[in-house]
Structures are given as structure tokens and as C-alpha cells.
Amino acid sequence: MTRLARRQFICLTDNYGVLLKDEVSHTVIAVDVPDAAPYLQELRETGWRLTHILITHHHWDHVQGLSALKQATGAKVIGPALSRDKIQDLDDVVEDGDTLDVGGLRVDALATPGHTLDQISWHFPEGGVAHTGDTLFSLGCGRVFEGDLAMMWASLAKLMRQLPDETVIYCGHEYTLSNARFALAMDPDNAALRQRVQEVERLRSEHLPTLPTTMAREKATNPFLRAADPVFAEKLGMAGAAPAEVFAKLRNAKDTF
């Protein structure tokens, strides 16, 4: 699926900026704006004309550059209805399950609360791409700040159900290397994970990104998604436990790892 051309670049320290261009409609979408300057530079380099900005959640490191980028480009801004009062510059808001026509491209809004209550994951089914904000990371998941552990688990389970395995996944941060250490400690004899960790170490030693990832890869290697696998639960000494309980134990363990 090559309908969406994609650019990803670091903003601030470890946040990602993402630009998607629909080759059919020429719609150009930014997802989150940690900083306007790197976006403006990418737009200059590519010659792409930004038409829309989608926001995943209200944290400052995802919206700090929003006003400046909107002002410079005139792009339309769409974000979570729950953050209507927290995020300035929203032109339109979405709730869970909304399907949008964004300049001719279909975009599905999936509410995935837990890290924050407002969190939206954006799915571009015609391009085989999703952006999961600070909900799902490669080999990890976001910290639970505003929701609770059961809510976060429900959100991850929903992403596993709704995003096809081949979906190319972008997220808010380059945290993969530190996530990898925890993942290996929990799941040391997972061959797919060991291979992925080697790849992550090589990429980071060359200062290259480990994102995007895919849903299939995360299902095979991300310990937080593997909470649904009874064999993995048994290895953690939690045979027969519900996936939500296994997830809660892992998330708490990661917080003090």
C-alpha cells in the first residue's frame, strides 16, 4: 500500500513529528506538533502543502508547536473532543468511532484512553497506517497518568482488534531501546524479541529511528500486548490470570524497573 507518502523526524529530544501525504488527493497531514520548526523545514524540503493537523492528546510535548504551525500553514486542526477546553486552535473535534473524510482520505478516530483520558489513535485504513500517540510504543506502552490500568489494557486490546497486522504504526516517542531492556527481562526466551532487540541496538547505535513498527511485530514482541497470551502469563507465574491482570502487573513492574 503506497497511497500515503510518509516523513518522520525528531522534534525536541525524543518526540516524533510525522507528515503523511495522500498521493491521490494531495492532502498533507501532520500528526501532533511538539515543535513547529522541524515541520516547517520538512515542508520546505518536500514542497508539500500542509492541509490538516491531527492531535492525539493534550500533553504539551504534542501540541507546543501547534499555534505556530497552524498560523504558518493555515491547516485545519482536528483533535479529541475531551480536550476541547485544553487545546487551543482546534477547528474540529472527534469522539471514539468517528470516521472522517480528511481532504478525500478516510481517517478513523479510535479512543484509546489510559495515558490521558482524551487520547485518540488515528487510523488511515486506505494507507495501512496508524498513529497511536502515547498509547502504544514499540516494545512498550505509555505510562498511565489520567486513566487506570484496566482502561489502558482495554485500549491496547482494542488496537490489537481493530488494526490489521500489517498496519504500519507511528507513535509519539523514540523510547524503544529502554523499552527493549524491560521486554527482554520479562520475556528472555522469545526469539522474535531477541532479534528485534538486536535490530534496535544497531539502529540506535547509528542514530537511526526504530519507528515505524507494525502491529504484527508488536504482537510478537511487545510484552504489554503479549499479556493476552496464556503461555506468556504462565511464564510470568500468572497461569490462568486474565489478560488485564497480567498487563497490570507488567505496567507496575515497568514503572519501577
Stretch that binds Zn ion, among 132-140, 150-158, 179-187, 211-219 (CB under 5 A): 132-140
- Asked if residue 25 lies in contact with residue 107, where contact means CB atoms within 8 angstroms, the answer is no
**Grid cell of 6 as nine digits:** 510518509
Please name the residue that has the C-alpha cell 522469545.
190
62 in active site: yes
**Among this protein's residues, is 207 annotated catalytic?**
no
Give bridge partners of residue 5 from the DSSP assignment: 21
Which residues lie across from 77 on neighbouring strands?
53
Q: Give yes or no for residue 70 binding Zn ion (CB under 5 A).
A: no
Between helix 191-205 and helix 176-186 the angle, nearest 10°, is 150
Residue 179 and residue 110: Cα distance in Å, rounded? 24
> Is 173 a residue of the active site?
yes
- 57 is an active site residue: yes
Contacts of 13 (CB under 8 A, 6+ apart): none
Name the active-site residue from 58, 115, 123, 131. Answer: 115
Q: What minimum distance in Å lies between the beta carbon of 133 and Zn ion?
A: 7
Q: Measured from the CB atom, is 59 or 196 closer to Zn ion? A: 59
Q: 42 or 61: whose CB is closer to Zn ion? A: 61
- Pick one of 32, 118, 134, 174: the residue that binds Zn ion (CB under 5 A): 134
The answer to whether 59 contacts Zn ion (rule: CB under 5 A) is: yes
**CB contact at 8 A, 31 and 60:** no
Active site residue 131: no
**Which grid cell sits at 194?**
531477541
173 binds Zn ion (CB under 5 A): no
Mask of contacts with Zn ion, 76-115, x by CB under 5 A? ----------------------------------------
Catalogue the E-assigned strands of 47-88.
52-54, 76-80
| Closer residue to Zn ion in complex, CB, 4/130 | 130
- The catalytic residue among 22, 32, 52, 57 is 57
CB proximity list for 120: less than 8 A, separation 6 or greater:
54, 55, 56, 57, 79, 80, 94, 109, 110, 111, 112, 133
Residue 52 among the catalytic residues: no
Q: Is residue 187 near Zn ion by the rule CB under 5 A? A: no
Nearer to Zn ion among residue 134 and residue 174 (C-beta): 134
Applying CB under 5 A, the span of 7-15, 43-51, 130-138, 151-159 interacting with Zn ion comes to: 130-138
Cα torsion 41, 107, 218, 10 to 10°: value is 10
Residue among 51 and 112 whose Cβ is closer to Zn ion: 112
Among the options 52, 58, 59, 131, which is catalytic?
Answer: 59
Q: How many of the chain's residues bind Zn ion (CB under 5 A)?
A: 2
Q: Return the DSSP state at 24.
A: T
Show which residues are catalytic.
57, 59, 61-62, 115, 134, 173
Which positions touch Zn ion (CB under 5 A)? 59, 134
